């Protein structure tokens, strides 16, 4: 049997100054505590782990920023770590489901958060969260230390 799930929860109070930075710092500390470090220490393994951690930090930034911009701010950030991956969850008080903005000029800032989630996560989605009267948007990534699996990945899907 694999390692048990480890969970970290950061309770937030909506769109406060510095909330994205606070969530990134919280996530960085969790990744450090969970030792997302390569076992062999080779430069290629170190680079892969560092890249995976940067992807996670970017996804957390996007999830929190979207909650700030479209849902009155995040209520909580939850990180769920297992032997094979990480699930990031951001809850907010809006029942509106995430929507991709119509394709426009890619050089214009904004509107790319869900595209980032689709490209970097193995899967993402959202679910109603009755506890907060809104929703939880989540994204999952494989652990850079997990052995590769046979078969195709599920890709980024919303539920």
The pTM of the full predicted model, rounded to 2 decimals, is 0.82
- Give the integer Cα–Cα distance in Å for 151 and 110: 34
Mean pLDDT of 84-94: 95
What are phi and psi for residue 142, nearest 5 degrees? -75, 150
Summarised one tens digit per residue, pLDDT across range 33-75 is 887 755 566 787 788 888 899 999 999 999 999 999 889 999 9
- Give the integer Cα–Cα distance in Å for 98 and 137: 8
Domain boundaries, the chain: 6-102+109-142
CB atoms within 10 A of CB 1: 4
Summarised one tens digit per residue, pLDDT across range 4-35 is 889 999 999 866 889 999 999 999 999 988 87
- Give the integer Cα–Cα distance in Å for 139 and 143: 13
Q: Which CATH architecture has domain 6-102+109-142?
A: 2-Layer Sandwich (3.30)
Q: What confidence score (pLDDT) does residue 2 get? A: 58
- Give the integer Cα–Cα distance in Å for 153 and 85: 13
Q: What confidence score (pLDDT) does residue 147 get? A: 61
Long-range contacts formed by 45-48: CB under 8 A, 24+ apart: 48/144
Ranges 41-45, 82-86, 91-95, 152-156: which has the least confidence:
152-156
């Amino acid at each position: 049997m694999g390692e048990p799930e480890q969970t970290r929860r950061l309770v937030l109070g909506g769109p406060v100054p510095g909330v994205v930075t606070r969530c990134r710092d919280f996530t960085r500390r969790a990744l450090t505590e969970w030792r997302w470090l390569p076992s062999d220490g080779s430069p290629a393994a170190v680079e892969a782990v560092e890249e995976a951690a940067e992807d996670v930090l970017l996804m957390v930034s996007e999830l929190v920023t979207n909650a700030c911009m479209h849902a009155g701010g995040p209520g909580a950030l939850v990180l769920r770590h297992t032997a094979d991956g990480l699930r990031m969850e951001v809850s907010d008080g809006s029942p509106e489901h995430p929507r991709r903005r119509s394709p426009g000029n890619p050089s214009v800032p904004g509107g790319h958060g869900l595209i980032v989630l689709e490209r970097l996560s193995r899967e993402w989605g959202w679910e109603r969260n009755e506890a907060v009267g809104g929703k939880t948007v989540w994204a999952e990534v494989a652990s850079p230390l997990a052995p590769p699996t046979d078969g195709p990945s599920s890709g980024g899907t919303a539920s």
